[in-house]
Chain A
Amino acid sequence: MTTTACFIIVSRNDIPIYEAEVGSATKREDAAQTHQFILHAALDIVQDHAWTTSAMYLKAIDRFNDLVVSVYVTAGHILCVFLNSYTQHILFGAYITLLNPLYLPGSRIASSHFDTKVRALARKYL
């Protein structure tokens, strides 16, 4: 089964700090662009929901055609936005990173270690 999935961590002020295109589907040229659009648009819905619910994990909060968006809202209001995948394991890894006291709010996550970890988890659970 081929899946297409995307994982983006969004900092406050809608700044993407980490992006990963995961999933086994063959890469389409404009996939990254489409995914960005969908996830970016979903942030509106997230902002609506995030303050009305105490749940951190907002499953299938928005959808575009057959692409489903799920969000994990962290305490610092950093959003982990998923497209078509909701693996708690990825979340965990992401969460750990964001707990890093040395993390500067708004800066990009450039760690290659984090990247490989996310991709490994994605392969495992998708």
Chain B
Amino acid sequence: MDPVKTPLGKMLLEEITPVVMVLRTPLVEESCLKNSLSFIEMLSPFCDFNNIDVPVRTSSDQPYRLQKFKLRLFYESDIKQPNIMVAKERLKQVITEAGEKDRSDLSTDPPDISNVLESSKSEISPSWFEIFNKELVRTVSFSEHEAFDHPVACVSVVSSKDEQPINKFVDLFNTNKLPSLLNDGAMDPKILKHYVLVHDNKDGPSEKATKILTEMKNTFGFNGCHLLCINSSQDEQIEHQDNPWAPYKFDSSPSQHLGRYLNIYDFNEIKDLIQELSSKHIIPYMEQKVRVLNQQVSATRKGFRNQIKNLWWRKGKEDTPDSSNGSMYTYSSVESQIRVLGDYAFMLGDYELALSNYRLVSTDYKIDKAWKCYAGVQEMMGLTYFMLDQSRKEAEYCMENAFNTYLKLGSSGRQNATRCGLWWIEMLKTKDQFKEAASVYFRICSEELLHSAVMLEQASYCYLLSQPPMLHKYGFHLVLSGDRYKKCDQIKHAIRTYRNAVSVYKGTPWSYIKDHVHFHIGQCYGFLGMYDVGVTHMLEVLACSHQSKATQELFLRDFLQIVQKAGKTFEVLRLQLPVINISSLKIDFEDHRTYASPGSTSVKESVWCSLEEEMIPSLPTARTNWLELQSKLLPKYKESNICVAGEAIKIAIEFKNPLEIPISISSVSLICELSATSDETNSDVSCSTSGIGNNEEHKNLREIISDTSSFSLSEVNISLGGGEAYLVQLTVTPKVEGILNIVGVRWNLSGSVVGFYSFGANYGKKKIAKGRRKAKQSPGNCLKFMVIKSLPKLEGFIRALPEKAYAGHLQHLVLELRNQSEFSVKNLKMKTSHPRFLNIGKQEDLDLEFPACLEKKTNVSPPANPKIASNGVFLFPEDLSVQGENLLLWPLWFRAAVPGNISLQVVIYYEMGDLSSGMRYRTLRMHYNLQVLPSLDVSFKISPYPSRLQEFLVHMDIVNKTDSESIQVNQLSTIGSQWEISLLQPIDAIFPSQSLIAGQAFSCFFVLKSCRKSSSTEESTSSLFPHIGSNVSLVPDGSKGAPFDTSNSPLADFHDCERLQHGISNQEAENSVDFILISRPLKNNAQPGVSDAHHVFSHHACHCRQEYTKLLIIISVYSTASTSPVSWVVDAPRTRHHDFSTTSFCEINFRMTIYNSSNARASIVMKTLDSTSISDQLRDETSGNQVGWHDVSLAKDNKMESDALRNHVRKSLLPESVSAFIWSGSSSTRVQLKPLSTTEIPLQICVFSPGIYDLSNYVLNWNLQPVDDHEKVGERIQSSGTSLGYPCYLTVLPSD
């Protein structure tokens, strides 16, 4: 590529051209100003020759033709180094103007990065950079060390109106006014002089001017004088097509008519003047000078001899200090002359000559350490190499060398370095080395922000243009630049750069970068008053949880400021603050299932379903009524949820504040849409909302919001602290029938920004919180409801249900039901999940006084059979209906059965009185959570009473497990008419304090007596009164009122529940005993006023039964009938004195009493054994029966222990201490026993020596024969069995 045609080549041909100094009188300027132009401005358009075609001959003898030539005209006052401050101002002005001229629409969305990459070079970087760079280059013009800015010629201009024009010409050359360059000797003051007389044709004919011209020619010589007539246009103003002056006038405005009095004659005259000046005067003068200088330089410096001499001479000057400026070289010095020669040759296009001279002088400067001059020459060498298009490497090396040398000079070289850098960059750009160019741009950034902002922006475009495009760097430099622009208040530039950066960083996961870009561009838009765009950018940074607290505050504050300045409420789709946790969305609605309290909805649907199973009509019957009705009405919306007009749908959704600073949110409400049933198209439209674009969606939402007549919404105001999450409860209450669609949620952030959130798009895969038709439910439909006609709804709660209770706590509660509508409901049914805890009372219980009602009454009436259907469903009286303001109160009994956390559910079913309504029945679901604390830990051990048949010893252990309560134990009752219980010792003796403080344990013994009779009449009464039992008062008589009645409701009911819980039927109760322990906590001293009379604990130690499988073990020393159908007692004396000296053996008679406790006839065979081995064998067999699962009763530990002990005792005792004895009499006795009867068998043994004898080696085989056929076959009574004897020690002592 021809270097001349490159941007740098063009720039050099414009910038490095001969300078002409212009001296003029004020009158000249005045004439020119009529055209709104200065003299120089008037001439400027004609100074640029693209095709001057002048032959030039420099050093060589071969002339060449110069095509492009340009003169630069300057007034004498401008020929000086520009003031830095002025230059800065000028640059700033350029930037500001460019910013204002920037026509691109700032408010549009940033371009997509792929589009940016495709656009051409010229589109990418703004055009004003060229102007800026030119200005920047000009800030360092007219420096002393460079000769190309030194004036080549001087034109003095005098007006024909001036008095004594010849003298004026002379005066103009008064040295006081001449630039310092000429005066200090930096350049040759003898320069080419040219004299021009300007005549304004408006002032009159040009005769006078011609006269002066002749005079001038006489005075200054013929060649150097000219007459220039201007303003030839007399009257009319000339409108110039393509005004040639426009590009030269920076602050031109269309209203000014530049050159309005200059007609075509003036044009030609100016043109001719300049043409002549250039071709006839300046170029020949320069040629001449080049030739002269070249000869001089050749004579002094060229050739080997001169070089050696030069070196030698310079060696001597080595000690001179570093000279930072070129002042040490005057125009007459060889170095300056070489430099001038080089520059002239360069300007005349003889680059070879220029290069050789630059090379020559650069070594000189280097040796002299004249760094500035050296850098300047290096710079020119680089440019010359470039223009020669020879060695790229050399060119770049020179440029870099120059650049670095300038930088080394510090502040004085700074601007030169900038210019050098710009040229270098252009050079690199020409060779497509954009990456390197960018790095140079980066290097010429100075401390001055505005300057570096422009440079960084240019650097960023270089990165974009490099191959492959370096987008990361592009973005980074844009941001760097934008940041500086912003600091310099160049907001428009800042926006431009940041906008480009936004397109780079769109959707970046680099959080800090994203925040920075959006925040700053948002701020910039805010400064410019483009609040809408500003807000959209600011929205991006709101959820900046990764930032520090201070930054978060800053972001939020600025955001709100912009919003406030905008002065309107913004409506923002998907506002990021606060964060909405869509997965927390929970919808509670009531179709036929209604809920008493919000907590009820948290219970699993399956729990409710299993409870309701028994109550609600089965599916086929249901089909015939409302479901079918519904499907007939609305075949299309079969799968949508159903809700009732006038009843609220509750939506819970979590709002989370991601920031560390508190935010306030107001007017949180749902966005809903309620369409009439027939309007199907509308609902279809809303279904497709999620699919369409943001704007449309937004519009759609707004439309939806405007229509709120058919439903009412709740509004919530919340304030979220840092990092806080809050579950917002929202409701929508439809007022009319139709299809209700919950579209989303809206809220107001800090009173100024309205955020929307659409559920539809985000809720796709979520399961619905409720509803059973999950399988066929399409995703969005869980937010869609079919609203049906308003229905009666029952509301209910249980009054005063405690949240915390001690185990056994008994309380009388009232269920309150209310129906707000005027329609009645009927067929109420009720079921509780834990009948052990909550028992439904009778209507007459309502006004009972508690706990007095528990006390035993004198007249015991049989309890009325409560209307409890199968599976514990309670049916309310059929005539009952709840309506209007009437309350339905129903008593409940509450008893905390077991410790732990209990979730208690109650379901009430009711049917609509009005059959025409959409639903036939509804259910009310109530849910309560209870915490039951342990109170008394009661355990019982039952062992047969020694030596008595049908009596047992009951060992009761009580431990007070409460934390602080003292508990008084009132009463122990047994359940069932066959048991009688009494204290073993008077209560005063064993339990004087009568109360248990926390942690205290207490044990107590009772005697339990079985009083079963085999009469059939009694059995019938006992089934009628299953709960009649006997009581033992554990408080001294008279201190409290009547004993508590355990045979009546509610205690009896709870007892039944307990039995059910343990899976025991009433029929099995024969050989088991149930205890009820009644206690009450004592009055707390701290609260003397509180009466504890209402706290009654009842402990159902249900079923301390003795199992047949534990038969062997339960039998201890004294057998009782209750352990097996057959029990016996060996009534033997404990000790016997016998005089073995008189009789060698002793006969001992004793009896065995056998009792048949079963309802069957028993045939019993009693065998005596003389060998112990048999008994062992038998015992092994029986113990083998115990293998496997068996019921663990309270007495188990004891039994095991005794079993083991017995084994041990037997084995150890038998061989040694127990002497042998023999049974006398028959070895086998058979008896027949009627049910519940006793018999006695006489027995006799013989002993032969004193000792201790174990009378246990006998076996009882029993066999039951049912009395009648009515006995149930499935009864778990063993029909036969074998019992081993139990140890009974007899001590025989020798008597004296």
Contacts and interface: CB of A to CB of B under 8 A. Distances in A.
A37 B471 contact: no
Nearest to A36: B512
Interface in B1163-1194: none
Contacts of B515: 33
Tell me what chain B mostly uses at the interface: helix, strand, loop, or mixed. helix
B127 interface: no
Interface string B876-913: 00000000000000000000000000000000000000
Interface in A10-65: 14-16, 29, 32-33, 36-38, 40-45
Contacts of A38: 476
B472 A33 contact: no
Contact of A43 (B472, B479, B548, B551): B472
Given A29-B550, A29-B551, A37 B513 contact: yes
Interface in B492-535: 508-513, 515-516
Nearest to B480: A37
A73 B1259 CA distance: 91
Contact of A37 (B476, B509, B550, B551): B476
Nearest to A27: B548
Contact of A36 (B463, B473, B513, B550): B513
B513 A44 contact: no
Contacts of B273: none
A43 B146 CA distance: 43
Contact of A44 (B473, B509, B512, B551): B473
B1111 interface: no
A13 B1169 CA distance: 96
A36 B463 CA distance: 19
A38 B442 CA distance: 14
A41 B509 contact: no
A40 B510 contact: yes
Interface string B534-567: 0000000000000010110000000000000000
Contact of A42 (B472, B510, B512, B516): B472
Residue of A16, A41, A43 most packed against chain B (CB within 10 A):
A41
A7 to B, nearest CB: 14
B94 interface: no
B516 A41 contact: no
Contacts, number: 45
B472 A41 contact: yes
B490 to A, nearest CB: 21
A14 B472 CA distance: 10
A41 B476 contact: yes
Contacts of B512: 32-33, 36-37
A121 to B, nearest CB: 23
B470 interface: yes
B513 A40 contact: yes
B475 interface: yes
B472 A29 contact: no
Nearest to A39: B510
Contacts of A40: 472, 475-476, 508, 510, 513
B461 to A, nearest CB: 15
Contacts of A36: 510-513
A29 to B, nearest CB: 7
Contact of B509 (A15, A32, A42, A45): A15
A29 B555 CA distance: 14
Interface in B550-588: 550-551
Contacts of A14: 472, 508-510
A37 B515 CA distance: 11
A40 B508 CA distance: 10
Residue of B463, B508, B510 most packed against chain A (CB within 10 A):
B510
B558 to A, nearest CB: 15
Contacts of B472: 14, 40-44
Contacts of A37: 476, 479, 512-513, 516
A41 B463 CA distance: 11
A69 to B, nearest CB: 12
Nearest to A33: B512
A102 to B, nearest CB: 21
Contact of A16 (B471, B473, B509, B516): B509
A55 B510 CA distance: 27
A36 to B, nearest CB: 4
Nearest to B514: A36
Interface in A58-116: none
Contacts of B471: 44
A47 B470 CA distance: 9
Nearest to A15: B509
A44 B550 contact: no
A33 to B, nearest CB: 4
B510 A16 contact: yes
A32 B516 CA distance: 11
B510 A44 contact: no
Contacts of A15: 509
B511 to A, nearest CB: 8
B522 to A, nearest CB: 16
Contacts of A42: 472
A33 B476 CA distance: 11
B550 A41 contact: no
Contacts of A45: 470, 473
A9 to B, nearest CB: 12
A122 to B, nearest CB: 19
Contacts of A33: 512-513, 515-516
A20 B463 CA distance: 28
Contacts of B473: 41, 44-45
Nearest to A35: B512
A115 to B, nearest CB: 14
A31 B969 CA distance: 73
B477 to A, nearest CB: 8
A14 B514 CA distance: 14
B446 to A, nearest CB: 14
Interface in B457-501: 463, 470-473, 475-477, 479
B516 A44 contact: no
Contacts of A43: 472
A36 B895 CA distance: 66
B449 to A, nearest CB: 15
A38 B470 CA distance: 13
B551 A41 contact: no
A60 B1291 CA distance: 106
A44 B548 contact: no
A125 B151 CA distance: 63
A16 B512 CA distance: 11
B478 to A, nearest CB: 10
A38 B463 CA distance: 15
Nearest to A31: B512
Nearest to A37: B476
A59 B171 CA distance: 69
Given A16-B510, A37-B513, A29 B476 contact: no
Nearest to B513: A36
Contacts of B510: 14, 16, 36, 40
A92 B600 CA distance: 55
Contacts of B475: 40-41
A14 B513 CA distance: 13
Residue of B473, B477, B548, B550 most packed against chain A (CB within 10 A):
B473
B116 to A, nearest CB: 16
A106 B508 CA distance: 13
Interface string B91-130: 0000000000000000000000000000000000000000
Given A33-B515, A37-B476, A44-B470, 11 more contacts: A15-B509, A29-B548, A33-B516, A37-B513, A38-B476, A40-B508, A40-B513, A41-B476, A42-B472, A44-B463, A44-B473
19 contacts: A14-B472, A14-B509, A14-B510, A16-B509, A29-B550, A32-B512, A36-B510, A36-B511, A37-B476, A37-B479, A37-B512, A40-B472, A40-B510, A41-B473, A41-B477, A43-B472, A44-B471, A44-B472, A45-B473
Q: Which 9 pairs from chain A and chain B are nearest by CB?
A: A41-B476, A44-B470, A33-B512, A44-B472, A36-B512, A41-B472, A44-B473, A15-B509, A43-B472
